[in-house]
Amino acid sequence: MSAAAALGSAGFEVELFESRPFLGGRATSYPVPASPDEEAETIDNCQHILLRCCVNLLDFYERLGIRDRIRFYREFYFIEPGGRISVFRRGRLPAPLHFTGAFLRMACLGRADKIAIARALLALRRERTRRQDLDRISMLDWLLQKRQTPRAIDRFWRQVLVSAVNEDLEHMAARHGFQVFWLGFLSRADSYEMGVPSVPLAELYSAEAWKRIGAVRIQTRCPVERIAAEGFTVGGQLRSADYYICALPFERLEALGLPAPPFTHSPITGIHLWFDREITTLPHATLLDRTIQWMFNKNAGRYLQLVVSASRDLTNLSRNEIVEIAIGDLRLFFPRVREARLVKSHVVKEQRATFSAAPETESLRPEPPSVLPNVFLAGDWTHTGWPATMEGAVRSGYRAAEAIAHAAGKPAHFLLPDLP
């Protein structure tokens, strides 16, 4: 979508083929079946958030005229079992000292944890541009080198990074952990602010939004069956054009005729719970020490969306078992759950949520040119410099669009640089 938006605005004629009836891929929403006396409710497959440092994603939203549908929050709430809340927000000091006050006040960490974290953050700043092995070691290796306390690892580093990169610290290349902390928490005072779409995800990419972009024709329910140098086959017919972009998830490439990279997947589980009463007034919170990592308040404290990233431990559990774990966890953080009645629940297990951002993966991520002439690659798994995120996906689309503009003799710049 980002490649189509960029090329459309630059005067190219673009045709986009999407196999599903709606746009958005892994960042989308759809109606969940309701009982006969209820209206179907549109829900996101899973809560998607962004940070202000996602400059290309925000630029894409700007192109579609929907940037105002993203609501930004300045507070992060860390809750301990028992309900004690530590609020993380920036203070008056300039970056990178803007979290000093909040950090000192965080009740969920002890003095030794804070000293260890401060030491590691200083090292991260220093080593970010100097160390050559950050793609070879895991983030956990690096944290252990920096003598982080178990509580600092579990309640701070793990809590932030597992959701941001969708991988466990022991399986995550240190470079991704560095990037999240550098761009999101140290580079600029507002870059950590968390953006949450105020509408269901699919509404962001509505037909109305695309009217702003030049000549982009969108064909939904149109799976591409084969990709070759002479064109894409759709519905048994060859569709030819001057240039092509393949923006499929990496596991789909082989079936359509392109080589696939040797990546593995990391799962995410989204749990949607509807209660008969308000459970919390917090807009969102990260829950410490338990299975559930994040809670998002989707509607008046009654509809909560819970997220577990890198959720391999839940893979073999039934949906009922997962709901039971979720309710058990919530009781510890939000006492009102004990009296509340669960009205409805919905569990989405995305086994192929993202590629695993493991050590030694970065050099295997391809650039836009493919093995076929005039066919370019995009997707969050290509070489974007980012883990699998919406920002990464948009960057890949902009890079593929730049490659096409260059090949067509109309060079253009779409990709915005990361914050310095």
Ligand X SMILES: Cc1cc2nc3c(=O)[nH]c(=O)nc-3n(C[C@H](O)[C@H](O)[C@H](O)COP(=O)(O)OP(=O)(O)OC[C@H]3O[C@@H](n4cnc5c(N)ncnc54)[C@H](O)[C@@H]3O)c2cc1C
- Residues at the interface with ligand X (CB under 6 A): 17-20, 25-27, 45-46, 48-50, 223-224, 247-249, 252, 268, 270, 350, 353-354, 379-380, 388-393
Q: How far is CA 17 from CA 25, 128, 204, 219, 265, in A?
A: 12, 40, 18, 5, 25
**From the CB of 124, what's the least distance to ligand X, in Å?**
22
Q: Quick one: CA dihedral 265, 249, 196, 347, positive or negative?
A: negative
Say how many C-beta atoms besides its own lie within 10 A of residue 194's C-beta: 18
**From the CB of 118, what's the least distance to ligand X, in Å?**
28
**From the CB of 327, what's the least distance to ligand X, in Å?**
20
Say how many C-beta atoms besides its own lie within 10 A of residue 318's C-beta: 10
| Residues in the chain, total | 420
Nearer CB in complex with ligand X: 42/100? 42
| Separation between Cα atoms, residue 3 and residue 396, nearest integer Å | 8
Structure tokens at 308: 């577990």
Nearer CB in complex with ligand X: 112/255? 255
**From the CB of 316, what's the least distance to ligand X, in Å?**
18
| Separation between Cα atoms, residue 401 and residue 399, nearest integer Å | 5
Nearer CB in complex with ligand X: 189/353? 353
**From the CB of 194, what's the least distance to ligand X, in Å?**
10
Task: Please give the helix or strand (H or E) that residue 195 lies within, else none.
Answer: strand 194-197
Whether 171 contacts 312, CB under 8 Å:
no
Classify each residue of 62-74 as buried b or exposed e, where b means 16 or more C-beta atoms within 10 Å of its C-beta. ebbebeebbeeee
**From the CB of 360, what's the least distance to ligand X, in Å?**
20
Nearer CB in complex with ligand X: 79/246? 246
Residue of closest CB approach to ligand X: 25
**From the CB of 175, what's the least distance to ligand X, in Å?**
17
Nearer CB in complex with ligand X: 103/414? 414
| Separation between Cα atoms, residue 91 and residue 212, nearest integer Å | 39
**From the CB of 2, what's the least distance to ligand X, in Å?**
8
Q: What is the DSSP string of 335-354?
A: GGGGT--EEEEEEEEEEEEE
Whether 261 contacts 364, CB under 8 Å:
yes
**From the CB of 48, what's the least distance to ligand X, in Å?**
4
Nearer CB in complex with ligand X: 149/286? 286
Centroid of chain to Cα 281: 25
Nearer CB in complex with ligand X: 134/247? 247
Nearer CB in complex with ligand X: 286/354? 354
Of 259, 249, 232, the closest CA to residue 351 belongs to 249
Nearer CB in complex with ligand X: 232/275? 232
